[in-house]
Amino acid sequence: MTSKIRRLTLLLALLFLSLAAFFLRRAEEKQTQLPVATGTDARAVHTDADVLPEIEQQVSDAERVLSKMSMDEKIGQLFMIRPDQLKLSLTPLQMHSDEKGVKKVDDDMKETLAAYPAGGFIIFSKNISSGDQLKKLNSALGDASPYATLIAVDEEGGAVTRVATAPGINVPYVTTMREIGGTKDPEKARAAGETIGGYLADYGFNMDFAPDADVDSNPANPVIGNRSFGKDPKLVAEMDAAFLDGLHANGVYGVIKHYPGHGDTKSDTHYGTVKVSKTWEKMEELELIPFLENLDKTDAVMVAHITLTKSEDGLPASISPDAIEHHLRELYGYDGVVVTDAMMMEAIRKHYGSGEAAVMAIEAGADIVLMPYDYVEAFEAVRTAVEKGRISEERLDASVLRILRLKYGR
C-alpha cells in the first residue's frame, strides 16, 4: 500500500469516527432517560436511534445506558423490591406484612433509593387506597430513578389480583384461569390479558407477573389450582401465549411462572421447602411444556423455589445453577430475563440469609432478585461479592444488559 493510500484510509477512518461521535452526542443531548416500552408491542421501543444513521445504531440504547452506570447502579438493576423496603424505619417483618403499606414516596425513601438504587418495584394491595393515589405512587417511583423502572404487580385474574380488589379501584373483574381454560378458546385468554393489561397500563404498571404457566396436574396442590389454565400442558401453553398477546397489546410485559413447574406439588413454598422427585426428562413431558413453548414470546421467566431432588445440585430452582444456567439457558436456549420468585418466602428464608440467597441466585443465572427479606443486606452482599470477585463484572454486566434490553429495546 502506498503512503498516499494509507493517508486516505486514515482520513476516512477518522471521518467515520467523528460522525459516530457526533450522532452519539446528539442523541445523548436529546434524551437522557429513555422510556420504558409502550404501545402495541411491549418489546418495541422507539427512540432517537430510529432516525440516526446506521453507524450510530451499532451501539444499542441498552449498551449506551449500561456504559454510564456506576457499580451500585448496576447492582440495583438486579433487584425488584416493595416500595415499603425503601422505608428503613420499618423492620423487614413490617415491610413484608399485609398491613399499613407505603402509599407515597417521601424524602427518606428517595434517600434510601439514592444509596441503594433498585431497578424495579412490586406493588401490593396494601400500597393502594385509590386510583389517583396509585397513579401518583407509580409515577413517583419511576421518577425517583434516572433510569427506566419496572413497575410490576401480581395480577393474574381470579383470586390473585392486587389491583382489581384494592380500595378505590373500579375495573372489570377477570375470572379464574381455570374457568377460562375450560372454554378451550384462546381468544378468551387473550381478552383476559387485554383487559388486565389495559387497566394496569392506565395505572402506570409496565409488568405483570402473569400468566401462570403451571399445569394443574395435582388435585392436592395448595397453591396453584384454579390459577392454572388446566391439566393439558398444550392447552396451557396456547392459553399462555394468548394471554401474553393481550398484555402486549397494552404495552405491558408478561412473565410466565413458576418455572420449572409448580403444578404437581403438595405443599407451598411460601411456608417451607417443597420437593419434587421427578427427573428433568419427566418434567419435559408435562410441566415444562408451557414454558418451553413460550420462551420466544414471554418477556421474562419467573423461577420457583421448588427443589428438584434429582437435579445435579439439589438446590431450590431459584438458586440452582442446574435449573437456570444449565437447563433454562444452555439446554433450552433462553437468553431473556430471569426473575426469582419472592425471596422472602420461607422456602428460602428458613435456610439462607438475604445476602447469601441473593448472591446464590445471581451465581445460578438469575437476573432479578425479587423481594429479598432484607433488601439492604442483599444489596451489600452482592456488592461485596462483586468487589471480591465471587461475581465477576462480566457476569454482572450480562444480567444488567438483559434487563436494560427489556426496558430500552435492543
Please check whether residues 141 and 189 belong to one and the same domain.
Answer: yes
List the grid coordinates of 256: 410466565
- The string of DSSP letters for 369-384 reads EE--SSHHHHHHHHHH
Mean pLDDT of 100-116: 96
The Cα–Cα gap between 245 and 295 comes to: 13
* Pairwise pLDDT comparison (393 vs 59), residue with the higher score: 393
Predicted confidence at residue 223, as pLDDT, reads 80
Digit-coded pLDDT (tens) for 204-239: 999 999 999 999 988 877 888 899 999 999 999 999
Average pLDDT of the chain is 88
Torsion angle of the four alpha carbons 276, 97, 200, 136, in this order, in degrees rounded to the nearest 10: -150
232 and 102 inside one domain: yes
Lowest mean pLDDT among 125-139, 214-228, 357-371: 214-228
- In a shared domain, residues 94 and 36: no
Residues 82 and 62 occupy one common structural domain: no
For 250-298, write each residue's pLDDT tens digit: 999 999 999 999 988 877 788 788 899 999 999 999 999 999 999 999 9
Pair 271, 215: CB distance under 8 Å: no
Q: Say yes or no: 228 and 257 in one domain.
A: yes
- Give the CATH number, domain containing residue 339: 3.20.20.300
AA identity, residue 215 = V
Residues labelled as active-site residues: 270, 341
- Please identify, among 68, 88, 106, the residue that sits at the C-terminal boundary of a domain: 68
Q: Which residues pair with 370 in a beta bridge?
A: 80
Give the least confident one: 56-60, 83-87, 116-120, 189-193.
56-60
Residue 130 scores a pLDDT above 70: yes
Q: Is residue 16 very low, low, confident or very high in pLDDT (cuts 50, 70, 90)?
A: very low
Residues 102 and 44 both lie in one domain: no
- Same domain assignment for residues 147 and 45: no
Same domain, 30 and 157: no
Structural domains counted in the chain: 2
For residue 386, what are the domain limits?
70-408
Q: Say whether both 351 and 267 belong to one domain.
A: yes
pLDDT of residue 392: 98
Q: Which of 39, 68, 97 is the last residue of a domain?
A: 68
- Domain limit, last residue, from 47, 68, 89: 68
My answer on whether 166 and 302 are in the same domain is yes
Per-position DSSP letters for 300-345, written without gaps between them: EEEEP--EETTSSS--BGGG-TIIIIIIIIIIT---SEEEESPTTS
| Rounded distance between C-alpha atoms, residue 121 and residue 101, angstroms | 13
Indicate whether 37 and 178 sit together in one domain. Answer: no
Closest by CA to 266, choosing from 316, 304, 217, is 217
Task: Provide, rounded to the nearest whole percent, the portion of the chain with pLDDT above 70.
Answer: 85
Does residue 260 have a cis peptide bond before it, meaning omega lies within 30 degrees of 0? yes
Residue 321 and residue 353 share a domain: yes
Angle in degrees, CA 179, 173, 192, rounded to 5: 60
